[in-house]
Structure 1
Amino acid sequence: MSVDPVLVEIVQGYLASVEKEVETAIGRTARSPMIRDAHDYRAGIHDRRLRKLTGRSYSALVHPVVRDHPIESMRPGDVFFHNDVYLSEGGIGHLPDLCVTAPVFIEDTAGDPEVVAFVQAFGHHDDIGGTVPGSMPSHATSVFEEGLMVPPIKLWDQGVPNEAALTIMTRNSRMPESLAADLDAECAACLMGARRLAELFQRYGRADVEACFDAILDQTTETFRREVLAKIPPGTYTWEDYAEHDGVDEPRLHTQRITLVRQTDPDRLVIDFTGTGPQARGPINHCGDYADGVFLKKWLAPILRNLADSPERMAELDVNEGVVPLIELRFPPPGTLLTPVFPAPTNARTFVILRLLGVLAGAVAKAVDGYMPADQETIRYTGVYGQGLDGRPYLMREVLGGGSGGRYYADGEDTIHVVPDSRNLPTEFSEARFPFVVERLGLAVDSGGPGRFRGGLGYEKHLRMLRDGHFMSIADRSILSCWGVRGGRAGRPFSVTIDPGGPSERKVDALADAEPVRAGEVVRIRTTGGGGWGDPLDRPVDEVVRDLRWRKVSFDGARTDYGVVATGTPDEPAVDEVATAALRDSMRASRGGDEPFFDRGPGYARLAGGRAAADVDWL
C-alpha cells in the first residue's frame, strides 16, 4: 500500500520518543550504579515480525521469547525475562545482561487483544550469582561458574509479578535489593512503553502504522545500499585481529578473521568468519551464529556508517532491521570463538564482539584505501569490593571507556563509551557510597596513537582505598594495542598499577578477580588510546603544540612520536623549528621501505614470535 511520507516521519519520531522515554524511566527508577549511574542499558522497539524498528542503539532479540511463548498465548500485562546466553538466539552475550520484553496489544475486530509490537529493555546488571562478585569470573572454564541462567520465562503474568521467580533470582545475587529494584524499573518502563505504542496504533490504525514500519525499514535498506555499500568496490578483502588472553591459558593470539566480499548481484556484503580461532577455554567466547546472526549483523553494521559523506550524515543513519537484508554472515563450524559449544564460558565476550568491529573496519579500510577510522577499545570492566566503612559488603563496578581511532578528517574522540549515553561513575556518588577516594580522573597523557590525526585518549583514574578490599578487572588490549592505519601508529594499551611509586608497587593483570588492595594504597587505571590515522610526522607543528597545552601529549611524546622539539612549560611551549625539521628528516630516513598498512604496536611481536606484522597487514 502507498504510505503517506508525513505519517512515516511522525511514526519514526514517535518510536524514537517512546524508546527514549523508556530509557529515561529506567534511569530514574533503577537502583544499581551500573544501570542508574553508568547507564549500561538500552531499550528497543520491535514489530510483530520481530524486526527492530529503532536505530538509536542495538538491543537484544525478541526471537527467543516468541520461540518459547507463542504470540497467541500472550496477554496484556505480560512481561517476559531471559538472560540465558545459549537460549537467546545470539541476543545475550553474558549472564549479567538481563532482558525484559513486554508485548504491545490492541483490540482486533472482535474486541480481543492482539499483539502488534514489542518493547524491550536490555542491560548489564551488578550481580547474578556465580563464583565471583559481579558474575564475571575471569578464570571460568564453564558457564555454570558465571551465574544463574534463566531461559525465557513469564516474569509478569497479566500485570502480576511472578514472586517465586523473583525470589529465586534475588536469592542468587549478592546485590538482591539492587537487582529487584532494577527489574521492577525495567518491567514498569517497558509496560509504559507498550501503552504508548498502543496509543500510536489507536490513533492512526494498525494498517497504516505497520505500513510505516515497512517504509522505515525499506528506507534504511535503500539508504545503506546507496550511500554506504556503493563506496566499497566489488572484491574480496581479508583482515584479522586478536584477543590476547582468555584468563585460563597463557597469553596468545586468539584470532578473529573476516573475509569481506562485496557482491553486486545481489547487492550485498558477505562477511565470512572462516579462519576465526578455536573456542577458548576461558570466558572470551561469543555465541554469534544463532538466528542467522541477526544480532551480529546489527552489531557490526554501525561500522559501515563511517563511509557516509560527512560526520553529520553518519549520525543520521539509523541501524535498524533494514540493514539485515544487505549482509550475509557465514560462520565456521561449531567450536570456534564465535560458535562455542555449551557450556563454554562467555562472560568476557566483549573481547570478541568489540574486536570484530575493528576487524570489519580493517577489512573495509583495505577496500577504501584506509579511509576508515583507526581502532578503538571502549569497554572494560573494573571495580573494587569488600566491606564498607559501615561494615556491610559492597561492590563497585564501572565500565570505563577509551579513546576512539583517528579519522581521515579529524583526531579521535577522548574517553568514549560504545554503549549510547553510558559513562563513568560520578566521583561524588562513588566517594559517598564506597570506601575510597577518587584522587584523579582525567586523560591518560600520550595514550592516543600518533598520527596525522591522533587517536583519542583513554582515562587515567586513581582510587585511594580507605579500607582493605579487592580489585577486579575484565579487560583486553593490555598487551596488544589499538591499531593505527595508513601510517598512523598504535595507541597505548590498558594497564593497572597498585601503589604506583610506593614500596609495594605492582602491576595487575588485565583479567583479575580478587587482587588484594590495602587501605591507603592507590589503584591507578589507564585505559586504551585509539589508533592514529596517517603519518605522525605530517601532523602540523601547531597541532602538536596545542596538544602540549592541552596536556594530551608530553614533551617527550612530542619528540619521539611527532619529531617536534619543544621546550618550556605546557602553558608556554616553545618549538625549535630548525631542530624539529632536522629530527623529522632523520626519522623519515630511518624507516624501512615497505611498511605495513596497519601498525599493531610493540605488543604484537611478543605474542607473534617476534613478527612485527601479520601477513594480512599489507594492502
Structure 2
Amino acid sequence: MDPLTYEVIRHRIWSITEEMGEALKRMSGSPIVTDANDFDFAIGDEFGQEVQVGLYNTGLVGAVDLAVYWTLQNRATNPGIEEGDMFLCNDPWVGGGLHQSDVIIYQPVFHDGKLFAWTSGICHEPDLGGVGLGSFSPAAQDVFSEALPTPPVKIVRGGQLQADMADMWTRRSRVPMLVGLDLRAQVGANNVGRQRLLEVIKRYGADTVKAVMKRMMADSENRLRGKLKSLPDGTWRATGYQDQSHEGDRSLHKITVAMTKKDDHLTFDFTGTDPQAGMINCTYAGMRGGVMIALLPILAHDIPWSAGGLMRCFDLVSEEGTINNATFPAAVSRGPIGPAWLTGTLVAECLSQMLDRSVDLGKSVQAACCGTWDTAVIAGLDERGEVPVPFLNILMEPMAGGYGARPQADGMDTGGLFCIPMGRIPDTEMSEFLYPMLVLWRREETDSGGPGRMRGGVSASLAFTPHGTSVPMGLVLASAGKAVSQNTGLSGGYPGNTGLDLVVRDVDVFEMLRGGVVPETLDELGGAIEIGQCYAQSDVKPGEVLYMHWQGGGGYGDPLLRSPEAVEADLIAGKVTVTAAEEIYGVAYDESSEHVDQARTQSLRLRIRDERKQRSTVEAVSGTRPILNVSHGRRIDDNLVEVRVDDSVLVACAHCGVQLADTATDDELWLGTFDGAPRTAGPQVTSDHATYVDGEVVFRQYCCPNCWTAVFSSIVPVEHPEHARTIALLGPEARALAMQAQ
C-alpha cells in the first residue's frame, strides 16, 4: 500500500489505545488509575499478537497476548468466543497480568462474522481479597494466602455485563465499589476500542486495515533486528538480589541473567536463578514482562511499540520453579514489583553494556532506575463523615522514583518509573481528601541519587499521620533494596540510596501542631523509631507517623570524574550535601563564597585515589603492564577501550592507557578490588543491612590499578559473582569473537 495510507491507519490504531486510556480514567474511581496511570491497553490481531500497546505500564505488555492465546486454545468451544463477548482474567499463570491484582478485560472484535482482532484493557486493583490488605500478604508461602487467581471467564455476553459474574467478582474485595467501577470502566474502554476499530475498517476496508496491522509488527521487528545487527555479538551478564522473601525471612534471593546477542537475535538465559520462595515470585508472564520493561525504553525507544513484532527478536531460557518463573501454587502477589522489576533492571544492565560499545546507540544507555516499588498499604476506618466508612489505599507516592543516569545526562530527579512512561504521582490534597491522613512532608531527598560522572536522579520521601480516624490504621509493607542495591550504577557509578520505611512511635504530632510546631524532620519528631522490614504487617496509630523513603537512580561513571561545576550546582540545588561532595565526588566547596575551591578539589581527588590504592587488593602480575595508545581504541564503556596491537586484542583503561587484559590469554580484567562496609559507599546508604538480612553485604569496588578510576561500584553480597571483571567479554567467547574479527 502507499506510505501515506499506512501511516494514517497506523496512527489511528495508536490513537485508539490512547482513547481507551482516557475512557478508563474518566470512568474509574481508583486513584491507582486516575492519578498514577497504573494500567495499559493493547490492540491485537486475530491471534492476539500485540499490534499496538499503550505508553502506560509497559510490564503488562509481556502478558496481555498470553491470555488471548490461552483463551483461543481453551475457550473457543466452551463457552465459545462470539461477537459481543468480553473475558475477565487475573490468573498470572494464564497471562494478562503479572499478579492477581492485575485484571484484564479483553474482547474479540468481529467483522462480517469473522474474528478480526482483540482489544484489551488491564489495570491494577486496590484489593481483590486474600489474607493481607491490598491483597499483599507478607507472610504468604503460597497463592492460597493471596487473592484468588481467576482463569478467563466470560464477563460480558452478547454485549451485556453478566450480573452474576460481576457480583461474584466484586464480592471478594474489601473495596467492592472501586473494583466494580473499574470493571465497568474497563468494559466501557473496550467498547470504545471496538467502535473505533470498526470505524477504521469501515472507512479503509478490512483487508487494508489487517495489512497495516501485520506490517506494523513486521516493521517493528525488522527495525529492531537492524539495530541488533549493527551491534557486536557477545554475552553480557548481570545478577541482582531480593532481600527477604516473606515476613520473618532474613535471606537474600538471587536472579541472574546471561544475555547473548548473535546477529539479529537476543537470548536471555536465567539459568542459575534461585528457587521460588515466599511471596517474591512471578510467573513466566512476569519474567517476559520484565524483559519488555527494559527492552521498550532502552532498545526500542525510537521504534513503534508493536510488541508482537518486537518479541519475535528474543528467546527466554529459564528453569521452572524459580523466582521469576514460578510454578503453581507459588505466592506471586509481589510479582511485577519484585522479581519482574528486578528482571527488567538486570536486562537493562545487560542491554546498556552492549549499547555502550556503540557511538551511535550509546545515548540509550541508562543506569538502573529506582530499583523497585516501595509498597505500603494502609486501611482502616474513615470517621470524617456522618457515618464511618472503611477505606483502603495503596500509597502511590513512590511513583516519583529517581531515574538512572546516562553517559551524557544526569538521571531525572523524581522523574518516575522507567516501566510506566506516563506514570504520575498523586496530588497530596486529593489524597488527604480521599483518605483520613495528614501529610507532614513530601519532598526530594538530598544525596539519594547515585553518585557518578553523571548523577542518578534523586528520590523523595513521604511522612504522614492518621487524621480523621480514632483507631489505628492497618499497615502492610512490601519492598526490597534495603540491604543490597537494586538501583545499581554503570561504569563505576555508585548505586542510589537504599530504601527505608519506618513508623515513629511514642509521639503525638497533633500536640506539636497545637503548640505551633510543624515537624520537618525525623529528629524533630523525636519518639521511638520502629524500622519496617522488607515484608511486614503493622499499624499506625493517630499521632504516630509513617515515613517512607524510596530509591533514587544509579549513577554513571566514576564520581571523581564529575565536573566540579556540576557538583556545585547540585549543592546549590540541594541535590547533594557538602559531605557527599567532599567524600564521594572529591569536590571542596567554600560555603562562605558559595563556590568550589579548585585547588583543594584537585588535592582532594588525588587523596581519594590514593585511599582507593591503599585499601584495595591487586593480584600480582609478572613484569609491568604496558601503557597503550588508546586514542584510536574501540570504546567498551566509560572506562575501558579495546586496542588492537599487531594480532592481539587488548583491553586498556580509557583514562591512563594501562593494559588490563589480553583477550587471547586472560579470562578477567586486571583490577584492584575493595570490599568494605556498605556505608563506605556514601551517605546515600540510609539503612544497616544487618537490620534486614543475616548474610554479609559489602560495598564492592573495582578500580584501574594504575590511575584508580572506579570501573564497578555496588552494594552486593560478599559472594556476588565477578561479572564486572568480564565486562569486556573476556574468556572463550571473547577469544572466539576476536579470532573472527582477525
- TM value normalised by structure 1: 0.90
Q: What is the Cα deviation at residue 105 of structure 1?
A: 2.0
In 2: Cα distance, 1:143 partner to 1:301 partner: 29
In 1: Cα distance, 2:603 partner to 2:14 partner: 55
Alignment of 1:464-613 (within 5 A): 464-466=465-467, 467=469, 468-481=472-485, 482-499=487-504, 500-501=522-523, 502-513=526-537, 515-568=538-591, 573-591=594-612, 592=616, 594-595=671-672, 609=696, 612=700
Alignment of 1:28-177 (within 5 A): 28-57=26-55, 58=58, 59=61, 60-61=64-65, 62-70=68-76, 73-88=80-95, 91-107=96-112, 113-177=113-177
Change in 2 beyond 3 A, CA 1:343/1:161: same
Please state whether the residue corresponding to 1:115 is helix, strand or coil: strand
Change in 2 beyond 3 A, CA 1:368/1:497: same
Change in 2 beyond 3 A, CA 1:263/1:45: same
Which residue does the alignment assign to 2:305?
318
Q: What is the Cα deviation at residue 405 of structure 1?
A: 1.2
In 2: Cα distance, 1:363 partner to 1:404 partner: 17
In 2: Cα distance, 1:6 partner to 1:181 partner: 40
Please state whether the residue corresponding to 1:516 is helix, strand or coil: strand
Alignment of 1:401-480 (within 5 A): 401=399, 402-415=401-414, 416-417=416-417, 418-466=419-467, 467=469, 468-480=472-484
In 2: Cα distance, 1:6 partner to 1:245 partner: 54
In 2: Cα distance, 1:22 partner to 1:393 partner: 31
> 252, 271, 276: which one pairs with 2:273?
276
Change in 2 beyond 3 A, CA 1:373/1:197: same
Encode CA deviations 1:154-179: one digit per residue, 9 max, x unaligned.
10101111111111111111001111
Please state whether the residue corresponding to 1:553 is helix, strand or coil: coil
Q: What is the Cα deviation at residue 276 of structure 1?
A: 1.0
Q: What is the Cα deviation at residue 80 of structure 1?
A: 0.8
Please state whether the residue corresponding to 1:395 is helix, strand or coil: strand
In 2: Cα distance, 1:210 partner to 1:134 partner: 41
The question of 1:345 aligning with 2:331 is answered yes
> 282, 288, 291: which one pairs with 1:286?
282
Please state whether the residue corresponding to 2:433 is helix, strand or coil: helix
Q: What is the Cα deviation at residue 610 of structure 1?
A: 5.1
Encode CA deviations 1:541-581: one digit per residue, 9 max, x unaligned.
11111111221112222222211222438xx7332222222
In 2: Cα distance, 1:465 partner to 1:302 partner: 40
In the alignment, is the contact (CA less than 8 A) between 1:337 and 1:352 conserved in 2? yes
> 365, 368, 372: which one pairs with 1:375?
368
377-386 or 395-404, larger mean C-alpha shift: 377-386
In 2: Cα distance, 1:529 partner to 1:295 partner: 22
Please state whether the residue corresponding to 2:51 is helix, strand or coil: coil
Please state whether the residue corresponding to 2:346 is helix, strand or coil: helix
Q: What is the Cα deviation at residue 208 of structure 1?
A: 1.2
Encode CA deviations 1:107-127: one digit per residue, 9 max, x unaligned.
1xxxxx222111101110111
Alignment of 1:123-272 (within 5 A): 123-227=123-227, 229-248=228-247, 250-264=249-263, 267-272=264-269
In 2: Cα distance, 1:270 partner to 1:409 partner: 28
Please state whether the residue corresponding to 1:588 is helix, strand or coil: helix
Amino acid at match of 1:492: N
In 2: Cα distance, 1:235 partner to 1:133 partner: 45
In 1: Cα distance, 2:269 partner to 2:586 partner: 41
Gaps in structure 2 of 5+ consecutive residues = 505-521, 619-670, 701-719, 728-742
Amino acid at match of 1:616: H
- TM value normalised by structure 2: 0.76
Change in 2 beyond 3 A, CA 1:30/1:596: farther
Change in 2 beyond 3 A, CA 1:223/1:488: same
* Count of aligned residue pairs for this structure pair: 593
Encode CA deviations 1:237-268: one digit per residue, 9 max, x unaligned.
2221111211145333311111112212xx31
In 2: Cα distance, 1:10 partner to 1:597 partner: 57
In 2: Cα distance, 1:50 partner to 1:318 partner: 15
Please state whether the residue corresponding to 2:33 is helix, strand or coil: helix
The question of 1:26 aligning with 2:24 is answered yes
Please state whether the residue corresponding to 2:20 is helix, strand or coil: helix
In the alignment, is the contact (CA less than 8 A) between 1:104 and 1:195 conserved in 2? no
Q: What is the Cα deviation at residue 609 of structure 1?
A: 3.4
Gaps in structure 1 of 5+ consecutive residues = 108-112, 309-313
In the alignment, is the contact (CA less than 8 A) between 2:489 and 2:555 conserved in 1? yes
Encode CA deviations 1:495-536: one digit per residue, 9 max, x unaligned.
1122233222221123223x2212122222111011110011
In 2: Cα distance, 1:124 partner to 1:385 partner: 17
Amino acid at match of 1:527: W
In the alignment, is the contact (CA less than 8 A) between 1:98 and 1:122 conserved in 2? yes
In 1: Cα distance, 2:543 partner to 2:697 partner: 40
Encode CA deviations 1:85-138: one digit per residue, 9 max, x unaligned.
2233xx42211111100221221xxxxx22211110111011100012200112
In the alignment, is the contact (CA less than 8 A) between 2:378 and 2:394 conserved in 1? yes
Amino acid at match of 2:283: C
In 2: Cα distance, 1:127 partner to 1:66 partner: 29
In 2: Cα distance, 1:583 partner to 1:167 partner: 68
In the alignment, is the contact (CA less than 8 A) between 1:243 and 1:477 conserved in 2? yes
In 2: Cα distance, 1:516 partner to 1:299 partner: 33
Q: What is the Cα deviation at residue 34 of structure 1?
A: 1.4
Q: What is the Cα deviation at residue 279 of structure 1?
A: 1.1
Q: What is the Cα deviation at residue 54 of structure 1?
A: 1.2
Q: What's the C-alpha RMSD, in Å, of the aligned pairs?
A: 2.5
Work out the percentage of aligned pairs sharing the same amino acid. 27
Which residue does the alignment assign to 1:327?
314
Q: What is the Cα deviation at residue 604 of structure 1?
A: 8.1
Please state whether the residue corresponding to 1:413 is helix, strand or coil: coil
Encode CA deviations 1:199-227: one digit per residue, 9 max, x unaligned.
11111111111111121111111111122
